[in-house]
Structure 1
Amino acid sequence: MTTTRFSALIAERTRSSHSDSEGATFMSDLMKGHGTKRDYAELSAQHWYIYEALESCAADLADDAVASPFLAPELRRLPQLERDLEHLFGSDWRSEISALPTTAAYADRIREVASSPASFIAHHYTRYLGDLSGGQFIARLVRRHYGLGDRGVEFYDFDQIENIDAFKENYRMLLDSAPWNDIEREHMIEETLLAYRFNSDLFTDLHRAKVA
C-alpha cells in the first residue's frame, strides 16, 4: 500500500484555495500589466508587515527542535524587502506605509500561533514556498510591465539558494518527516488554508484601497 506524502497531501488539500488567491482581481490585473508601479509598491508594503511577523517569530523559534530545520537563513526576506521599499517609496518609506486590515490580522495570526510549530510552519510554508515558486514568475512580469530592473524586486531574489528546485524538495521532505501526529498535521493543513484565505482577502483589501 502506497502512503501519500504529507507534503503532497498539503498541496492537494489546498490546491483550490491557491487558485482562488491567484485569481483575485488586484493581483490578476497587476500580472497582466493593467495595474501600476504604485500598485506593486502597495503590495510590497503589505508584505513588510507579514514578513516582519514571520521573521521575528522565526528568530524566537531558532532553538525549537521541530521548527528550526525549516528556518533556513537563506529564506529571510526583510533586508531585501526593505531595500525594495526604499527604492519604491524613498528613504522615509516607514512613514509612507501602513497595514491594511487584513494585513494586520494576518500578522497577528502568525504571532498568535508561533507557540505551535505545526501551525507556524503552515504560514512559513505558504509564504516562502510560494515565493520560491510563483514568486519568480511574478518578478519577471513586474520587471516587464512596470519598468523595474533589479532594484525594487529584490524580495524575489533568492541568490543565496543555488538550486531552488532542490531546496523546495528538501523543504517538502522536512514536512514529510516532521514528528507531528495526525491532529497536528490536520491543524497544519487548516492553518495553511487560513493563510491562503488571508492572501486572497489581502488582494481584496488592496483592490478596495485602490478604488477608494
Structure 2
Amino acid sequence: MTVVETELVAQPLSVVVREGSKAAHEQAEGTSFMSELLEGRLTEQAYADYLTGLRPVYEALEQVGADLAGDPLVDAVRDVALERLGAIDADLAHWGRHATPGLVSDATAAYAERIRAASAWGGLYVAHHYTRYLGDLSGGLAIGRIVGRTYGAGPEALAFYAFPGIEKPKPYKDAYRARLDAMPLDEGQKARVLEEVRAGFALNTAFFAELAARLDTYRAA
C-alpha cells in the first residue's frame, strides 16, 4: 500500500470505504447513460433495460446474504428492510413491457458472479452490501423522484425506491455506518473491503457503459 492508503485504512471502516472509493463512485455517477437518464432525455425502454439489468445483482446479493446468515460481519448489516429484489420484480410488472426483448447484460452477470464469490468472507459481502444499499438510500432516492417526473410514474411503478421499513434514511445510514465502524477488522482486512467496494463500483460502471452503447436507441425523439 502507498503511504496515503496506509493512513486511510487506519481510519474507521465507514471513512475508509467512503473516502477510498470516491473516484470510483464519481466515475460511475458520471457515465453518459446515467447523465442522460437523469436529464430526462431517454425513453422508458432505457429505464426498463436498466432495471432489468440490475435484477441479477440484487438476486445474488440477497441470496448470498441469506446463505451467510450467522456470520457476525454479515449479520451486522443485513436487514430485510433494505432488500430490493421483490421491489424490482414489482416494478418490472409495469416497466417490463418496455424492455428490449432478450437483452442480456454481460456486465451485471459478471457483477452477480463477483457477489457470489464474495461468500468466501463476510467482509467482502459487506463491501457489496454497503455499495448497493447505502447508494439506494442516498442517490437512489433522488433517481426515483426524477424517474417519476420524467415518465409520469406513480408509486406503483417505483417500489425500487420505496423503503417502507425505514422511516428516516439519514438516521438509518448513520447507524449503519456505526455498525461498520464497530466491526473488529484489522487494517489489512479493511483494505480488502475497500478493494471490493471499488470493484463493485467498477462493475456498475461497466453496466452503465454497456447501456451507453445503446444511447442512440434510447434517446427520446
TM-score, reference length from structure 1:
0.92
Question: Would you say 1:55 and 2:82 are equivalent positions?
Answer: no
Give 1:2-41 correspondences, 5 Å limit.
4-41=11-48
The answer for unaligned runs of 5 or more in structure 1 is none
Query: How far is the alpha carbon of 1:211 from its aligned partner?
Result: 4.0
Question: Is residue 206 of structure 1 aligned with residue 211 of structure 2?
Answer: yes
Aligned amino acid, residue 139 of structure 2: G
Distance 1:45 1:6 in 2: 32
1:106 match: secondary structure: helix
Where does 1:69-88 land on structure 2 (aligned, <5 Å)? Answer: 69-88=76-95
Identity across matched positions, percent: 36
Partners of 1:66 and 1:126 in 2: CA distance: 15
Gaps of 5+ in 2: 1-9
1:186 to 191, 210, 220: 191
3-state DSSP of counterpart to 1:34:
coil
Contact kept in structure 2, 1:49 and 1:99, CA below 8 Å: no
Indicate how the Cα distance of structure 1 residues 155 and 197 shifts in structure 2: closer, same or farther if over 3 A, else same. same
Q: Quote the offset at 1:18 in angstroms.
A: 1.0
- Please, which of 172, 195, 202 is the counterpart of residue 197 of structure 1? 202
Name the TM-score, length of structure 2 as normaliser. 0.89
Distance 2:100 2:142 in 1: 30
Opposite residue 76 of structure 2, the aligned amino acid is P
Structure 1 residue 122 corresponds to structure 2 residue 121: no
**TM-aligned CA deviation for residue 96 of structure 1:** 4.8
- Matched to 1:172, the amino acid is R
Alignment partners' CA distance in 2, 1:161 and 1:181: 31
Shift, 1:151, TM fit: 2.1
How many residues are aligned here? 208
- Which amino acid in the other structure matches residue 146 of structure 2? L
C-alpha contact 1:54 1:124 (8 A) present in aligned 2: yes
Q: From the superposition, tell whether residues 68 and 191 of structure 1 become closer, same or farther in structure 2 (CA, over 3 Å).
A: same
